[in-house]
Every structure is written in structure tokens, then in C-alpha cells.
A and B are shown apart, each in its own frame.
Chain A
């Protein structure tokens, strides 16, 4: 494997620091009279995502409050699943406490809060596009160094994704960094624990298939969250492939009460593959979740028939029947499971 040897230097200017000539020269190479600093600032502040022209941005839909509420409702909240036994490097002794009723309630509320924090949904974004801007060209500087230099701003208190990362090529052009260079610089100077500089082999296609056969979805998705940013093409490829596999094997329950159920449901609704998920919910008597799915469908596809339903007044059974008639891709499967659900319901009502 060939690594391009690039010099990583950082531009940290202390005022009241060493007054070397070299420092001044390096400093002047970064910023010239022609470069507009204000333009630089405005460019980096809002550089996170870029929208594709003809499509809707899933991020804009995702961040809406009603969508977030619906997704958290569908995810469920099983404390035994959220706080399953995990390996722990710092093993402590078991602590026993005597608590009053009030204190017990407080502890339980704290646990619920901690559980909610563990169910934070990873952001959903469009794929990031390369936008390398050339800040200035300078042929006089060409050949000043055998390798290109990358600069990053390490001042305090700025989010990592907003930092200015700039490259000076061997032929003298000063430009903003490519996506790959940005990712590497961010990991070097602001590392996230658990993230590798080189993509782990488990995300390559053949290895991914092997792990999917084992149905080890949580490992893949957790590691993808740590390793990639949500707008990287690799992250999108890995997560979409996992969701497809889960759809084929009908193993949605593996991800219930985890943080990954929300993005998975969003993916199915966005690409209109809701049927199997809905039939799975019906077979587990989760009629409210099925209705939430339909509401999500209405929000994401406002020009479909589902958007015309009224979700407040009508009976949930009616809604699902209407959906089976209108937009279901596999209507037979859905109607079959729906019939079984109704039968189970009627029997439960008869028994009392």
C-alpha cells in the first residue's frame, strides 16, 4: 500500500512567542495581501453539507421535531436491552445502597435519562461532495518543498468540522483540502477513540458479507458510527447494505431499543420499502408503531396518497387498510399479516 508522504505541519501563531524569521516567512506564505480573509471565514463556517440540485435533502427532513419524535417512538425503550451486560475494563466492586422511596424514584429517573442518551439517533445527511477551492496560484513558490504541506487551525473552542484545513501543493497553489485530507487531518489532531486512520478491512465488501451472514448488525453499525462521519460515502454504503440485509432476513427486532432503529426506519420509508417492516410490527402487535410509520411516510413523501390520510380521528385499522390499497409494494404479505392481527385481536377481546 502506498502512502503519499505529505508533510503535516500546523500553523499555531502565539503572540508574544518566538520572533523567528522563519515563523514570519511561514506565516506570510499562508496569507498574502491578495487573499481575502473574510471570504475564508465565511466559507468555512457553513461548509458542512451540500445539497444535490434536484433531490430533497434527507437531513432537512430528519431534523424536524415531529420526525424525531416519531423515530424515538418506533425505537422502543427496553431497559434490559439498552443496559445489557458489556465487557468493562474498569471492573468495580458492586455497591449496595439503602434508599428511601423518593431517592429510589430519583435513581430510576436518572437511569431513564442515561438510557435515552444511549438511544441518540446518528445524524442522516446527504453524501458530501468535494469542493476544493483554489485560494491563490503562485508559480514562484513551485518546488519549494518535495511534498505538499497541510495546515489546520487548532485554536480552542471550535467544532472539529468547522476547522480550516488548507493545503499548499508542490507547484505553489494554495487550496482548501480535499475530503480525504480533511478526514485524516481531523483524526490526527482531534482524534476520536476507536477510529482508525485507514479504513478497517471489515468494511470492505467481501468481509462485510461475512459479518452480515453472522447477523452481527450491531457491531457493524456501531463501528461505522465511530469510524465514519455520517456524510461519508463509505458510511452510506455500509449502512445501506446492512439495512438491505436486515430487510431480506426480516431481523428487525435485533435493532429494536438501539440507536440504529431510527435511521433504519428512515431508510425504508425514504426508499418506500416499508412493507416487511410493517408486517413485522403487526405480527408483534405494535399497531401504534405501524401508524407512526405511516405518519413518517406522509411527511417524507408529501405528494403520495398517504399524506391525505387523517391520522388523528380515524381507526388505525382503517389507515392500514387504506395503505395496503394505495402504496404497498407487497400488498399480499401485508394483508395476510393484517388479517392474522385482527383475528388475534378479536380472540383477545372474546377471552376478556
Chain B
């Protein structure tokens, strides 16, 4: 199972699941001498044969199933030893490296890492690669890793490299967390004008009628039926 393979490897110095598997399997092969069952091959393994053997053992996440767990398991996972061994104190996206096709990374990430329950990428994004990470409004510890401490905004995707589908989930989860009050944020300051709430503080000149009411009043006084006939004197206009 992917998770067991995950837990047995230390990720602090290694780059990704994919390459971690590769590096371990290649060291295994380098340690073993040429197997005695194949006497036709030369005694020392050449670079080419090593490469061919390595190609046969290549494992890719593509096509393997991706089933996210429910929220309770995810919450337990965030506190567990397994989480600490894999990620330590770093955020979840810290040790992830994107693959480049050019020299520069594009400013957007892939659309999604899994389709119909199977991975479609060999190098899924930091959230999709771990089936126990669920972006949910209750999972505040995970949500906080994607929010900048200083600005309070969502970290740019160039930094965190999550796929667009997970970014949408993150935005929804953050909005819900703010709504439920689980995630702290800076509430804008509201200045009150006491005169709105305590009429006794108002002076005479503050009580100006609105433009609409002057118009309606004039129409009633002059008994107009058409708006074209409406005329307002300058004092009435300036009073509003």
C-alpha cells in the first residue's frame, strides 16, 4: 500500500515519493552482484544493463488508486507520529519539487492529480500524494500551512505547488473555516458615528431631508402628474 511505503521512508533529505522509491531500488541493485542464474551476461554490470534493469523496476504512481479518507482519520493523522516522521515541523508542501519541461516553471499548476479515483500523474501535488490529508474546514492545522502568517492571504501556487482542484478545495475550506470561526483572521475595524444611534446628539442643521423626499414633497404640493414639469428652487437643492 502506498501509505506503508510512505511511512517507512524518511523524507527530510529526499525529494519525492517517486524518486525516493527509485533511489532505494537502484541502491539495492547496485549492491547485488550479477545473479548466477544468468551466466550469459558479463560479470560486471555495465551502465546500459544497469539502466535496463532499472527501467524494468520503475514504479509510477500513475494508475494507482487515490482514495481520500474521511475527516476523523485525517484529524487523527495530523496529530499522529506518522505525520511527524514524514513531515516534521515543516509545512506539507516544503519538500515537494515540481517537474519542469522548460527552464522556468509556469505560474499555474496542473488541473488535477487524480481522475475517477486513479492518479493520472507520476508526481502528484503535496496534498494529493498523501491520502490522509483532507482539506476541510475542521482541519485547521492543515489549512494554516497554506496561509501566510504576515499577510493572511493564501500562499501563491508557485510556492505550494498544489493542483488547481485542491486549490479550489482550499479556498472553500478556508471560507467555511472563517464562517465557523475556527480559523482566526483580522476583522476590519468598524467606526461608529454616535449621531446615527443617539438622536439627541444631533443638531438642527444635521436634519436635512433627502433629495428624494424633497422631490416627492414638491410633486405633492404642486400636484404634478408628469416629471418634466418638476422644478426645484436652488435653496431646496442646496439643502440636501
Which residues does A use to contact B, with CB under 8 Å? 11-13, 15, 17, 19, 23-24, 27, 30-31, 33, 37-38, 40-41, 45-46, 48-49, 59-60, 63, 86-89, 91, 117-118, 120, 122-123, 125, 153, 155-164, 192-194, 196, 200-202, 207, 210-211, 216, 219-220, 222-223, 225-226, 230-231
Contacts and interface: CB of A to CB of B under 8 A. Distances in A.
Interface of B: 148-153, 178-182, 184-201, 207-213, 215-217, 219-220, 225-228, 230, 232, 240
A46 B152 CA distance: 41
A157 B215 CA distance: 15
A13 B216 CA distance: 10
A139 to B, nearest CB: 23
Given A31-B216, A219-B184, A225-B190, A63 B210 contact: no
Contacts of A48: 196-199
A231 B196 CA distance: 12
A206 B219 CA distance: 53
A24 B187 contact: no
Nearest to A193: B188
Contacts of A158: 208, 210
A40 B213 contact: yes
Contacts of A31: 216, 219-220
B240 to A, nearest CB: 7
Contact of A24 (B180, B197, B226): B226
A87 B198 contact: no
Contact of B179 (A27, A160, A202): A202
Contacts of B201: 63
B212 A13 contact: yes
Contacts, number: 140
A207 B151 contact: no
23 contacts: A17-B227, A19-B227, A23-B227, A24-B226, A27-B227, A37-B220, A40-B213, A40-B216, A41-B209, A49-B197, A87-B148, A91-B150, A123-B198, A153-B213, A164-B212, A194-B188, A201-B179, A202-B179, A202-B180, A210-B182, A219-B184, A226-B187, A226-B190
Given A24-B226, A88-B151, A89-B151, A59 B212 contact: no
A89 B153 contact: yes
A226 B200 CA distance: 24
A233 B181 CA distance: 20
Contacts of B199: 46, 48
Nearest to A38: B217
Given A37-B220, A40-B213, A219-B184, 8 more contacts: A15-B230, A19-B226, A91-B150, A123-B194, A125-B197, A192-B190, A194-B190, A216-B181
